[in-house]
Amino acid sequence: MIETLERMLQILKGINRNLSEQSVPEEIFESELKTLRTEILGLYEDIDNIINYIDANAEISQTEICGLLKLLYSKYEELLNRVMITHDILIEMLLKAEN
C-alpha cells in the first residue's frame, strides 16, 4: 500500500509537470490535485496512527484491527480511483491539446 501511495504522489507530480508544459489551464486541475495530494498525505498519517494505536493497545482484538484495516483500505481504494480518473482526464485533455 505504501508503494502505491508513493506512486500516486509521483502521478500527481507528473500531472503538475504536464500541465505546466502544455497549454492546458492548470486551474482546471489545481484544486483537485491539491485535494488528492492532501488526502494521500493524510492516508500516510492514518497508517501511522493505526500502527501507533495497535502498538499502544496490547489488548486490541483482531476484530478491531481488521475493522481499522478495512477502513484504511477503503479510503485507499477510493483515493486510488480518484487519482486514476484525474490522470485519465488529463491524458484526454493533453491529446486534444496536441491535435
Over 60: is that where the pLDDT of 96 sits?
Answer: yes
Q: What pLDDT is recorded for position 28?
A: 62
| pLDDT (tens digit per residue) in 51-89 | 888 889 888 888 988 888 888 888 888 888 888 887 787
Distances (CA, A) of 42 to 27, 45, 51, 89, 98: 23, 5, 14, 24, 35
Delimit the domains of the chain by residue range. Answer: 2-98
Contacts of 23 (CB under 8 A, 6+ apart): 97
| pLDDT (tens digit per residue) in 6-62 | 776 677 667 666 655 655 555 666 777 778 888 888 888 888 888 888 889 888 888
Residue 5's pLDDT band (cuts 50, 70, 90): low
Distances (CA, A) of 60 to 32, 56, 69, 70: 37, 9, 13, 15
Pairwise CA distance, residues 70 & 72, whole Å:
5
**CB of 97 within 8 A of CB of 18?**
no
